[in-house]
Structure 1
Amino acid sequence: MTPKRIIVLCYRKIIDINSAKAWDKMVFESTYLEFKMQAQNFSLGTKYTSYADLLRNVPNAQRLTVMVTPAVTGYVQQLGGVMPDVLNNAGRRFLTFDKFQLEIINSDIDDKNRHQVAVNFYSGPMIWHDTIDIFLLISDHLPENNQPGQNGKSLTNLMQVQSYVNICSIQYLN
């Protein structure tokens, strides 16, 4: 018998000046404004305006990501715990997340066009039942997912493997 595979998925949503969806635009604007305000604490009295230069040259500049994260928290809560953009084979958003992490990819105090962030969404534990062509057959790894009177059957989703979705951890159970 094949061991049960428990996985956690991560979806990395990249947001920049060209993002078209309303939610993405709000996250972009909010994180840029917060970056600009917080980065001034590190750039004051220096010639550095870019995130990369601040990281290379200013002590504790890596804290900027943590300092900008509250600007996105309210928008993430609006998602109701369901990852954006990731759909099952029936075209429905289904993949829930337990936590998220903001990542500043690039930015510049003086150039909004260079601002780029990623919001990394992490699912709860899931059972990876099978791979069918380019699809993963998965289900939540929760006792309540087993339907009463269904002889241990689980509710599943068939999800196409897509860009920016990654299996970030795997555990084998016997």
Structure 2
Amino acid sequence: MPQGQVRFAFRIVINQHSRTDWEKYIWESTYQEFLMQSQLFYEKAAPLFTFKEILSKNEKAEQLHFLVSMAAHPYILQWKGKIYHLGDNLGNNFMPFNQYKMDIIDSNIKDKNAHEIGITFFTPLITLIDIWEGHYLISLDENLDKPSEGIETLMFKLQPRLSVAFYQPKTIF
């Protein structure tokens, strides 16, 4: 019997050490976008070079997270709603996402290697059945009204950067 509904959050950090081509394209594109968009917050009297410096002097620079995320958006669309960095115990990539949020961890207009971003993917509500030996047992099956007939399940290992972002316990009548 299901214990409740959960929404998972899975975070990917992309920086100069990222390995996949997909991550490298995002890193390059978001850095170029950061260079352009950070000019909106440039101060000639006291030049600021890092994202953290810009943010400390101008709270409106929070907008840079959103403005720079536009450069990552076309690459995220390529995933077609599946989190490909998060495989189940069989190595399949079924975990869906319906939202994401990109944030700038830090960047520097003088040093590309300091550019680092995070992308957090959020799943739709998923049925959490149980947690067994360090694994989430979940179901994406929407036909859970007849559990006696069985339900399709997946198992995902508890791992770094995978978190339960929302939990709604099962209602017992």
TM-score relative to the length of structure 1: 0.91
Q: State which of 151, 154, 161 in structure 2 corresponds to 1:154.
A: 151
Read off the aligned partner of 2:158 and give its amino acid letter. V
CA distance in 1, matches of 2:129, 2:3: 8
CA distance in 2, matches of 1:154, 1:129: 10
Superposition pairs of residues 1-174 of structure 1, within 5 angstroms: 4-45=3-44, 46-140=46-140, 142-143=142-143, 146=144, 151-174=148-171
CA offsets 1:67-123 (integer angstroms, 9 cap, x no match):
111101100000010002111111111100011100100101111011000110000
Contact 2:2 2:130 (8 Å CA) reproduced:
no
Q: 1:59 to 1:130 in 2, by over 3 A?
A: closer
CA distance in 1, matches of 2:141, 2:126: 5
CA distance in 2, matches of 1:114, 1:102: 17
Matched positions, count: 170
CA distance in 2, matches of 1:114, 1:161: 30
CA distance in 1, matches of 2:15, 2:4: 35
Read off the aligned partner of 1:173 and give its amino acid letter. K
Contact 2:5 2:125 (8 Å CA) reproduced:
yes
Gaps of 5+ in 1: none
Read off the aligned partner of 1:166 and give its amino acid letter. S
Secondary structure of the 1:25 match is helix
CA distance in 2, matches of 1:34, 1:28: 10
CA distance in 1, matches of 2:119, 2:84: 11
The Cα of 1:151 is off from its aligned counterpart by 4.7
TM-score relative to the length of structure 2: 0.92
Q: CA RMSD in A?
A: 1.9
Read off the aligned partner of 1:4 and give its amino acid letter. Q
Contact 2:3 2:130 (8 Å CA) reproduced:
no
CA offsets 1:106-160 (integer angstroms, 9 cap, x no match):
10111101100011000010111111101110012634xx59x985422110111
